[in-house]
Chain A
Amino acid sequence: MSADIAIGKSTWADEMEEDEGLLAPVVTTNRDGTKTVVSYRIDPDTQKKIKVTQKIREVVVKERVNAAVAERKSWAKYGREKDCPPGPNLITTSVGENMLFRLALKSKVREEDEEKAEAKKVVKDKKITCRICGGEHFTSKCPYKDALGPADATAAEAEASRQGSPAPAAGGSYVPPHLRNGGSAAAGGSGAPSENPDESPALRISNLSEEANEQDLRELFGGFGPLERVHVVKDRETGRPRGFAFVTFMSRMSAERAKKVMDGHGFDNLIMSVDFAKR
């Protein structure tokens, strides 16, 4: 008898330890047949105690099933599931996010697409030139992106060739201060190291998963040295990440190290490509 008490005590103490001092859930049966469950838990982020009140109505649904199906439900598990308790195994079976699935005629979808295309046309009228091939599209959408290499290399070339000819007359596009007066920063002249793009500690991460956010990148790249700025480029219209980001380090050294390690590194389901950002 005394042994029983001792065991009871020890389990009670264990429970208290496991629950970290939380009160046990209280279940009360209401007059209308529902149950109210009051339980407590600690929020892992804020470490605050949270009281959860749930009102539960139990509904018994009777369903007729095929006898063979009912028999199969009682079969013992085997293989990798051997000796597992009945019910879905959390390792293999999980419930995904709720998603909107509505059947609808595609013509409606097409109309929306057309509207988007219209919007694109309007943008097109604003004279877009690709930095890679000079065509009328965004640089990121350039069909020759892979063939002609990164925009920046070609842009630098174009810059160099432009230096040969007289500077563009007034009415041309904006020329940043360090390139005015035939500035030679891009051609590798005597610019200050901070202005020289070849010395900039900024990395451009492309082929990045859409799920990656700033925090993920800080965790990924923070190990190589102090970070100055992390910027995930997002689509202006949809707000979804566009699949690339910029990470600026405090020093060129750590940027180089990060590039060496992280180029070709997998994140989510994609393999990132990391290169120095050029302006």
Chain B
Amino acid sequence: MSFQISDKTYETDEEGYLANLSDWNPEVAEFMAKEDDCDLSDPHWEVINFLREYYEEYQIAPAVRVLTKAIGKKLGKDKGNSKYLYELFPYGPAKQACKYAGLPKPTGCV
């Protein structure tokens, strides 16, 4: 599978996750979000950027409970809970946010 933005083609796996991490740019996230009828606001970007940093450091996309805990630590308790994260990413914070962040599907997610 693949999609196109301007003249560039982006390869994805069968679930729509970017095939090559290095292809990512903010436009990719905006495009994927639009496909899901989701408008990316600053709080969305906060999570997406957090995930990209986490991946950079640990080379994995964290499972949702690990993400929740880590967000709480970094961005504050009011953000480190499932309710807040599910409101931002109703398809599942780890899965949906990882997809927009250009990461593979989280390890430990089914």
Q: Are A and B bound to each other?
A: no
A residues at B contact (CB < 8 Å): none
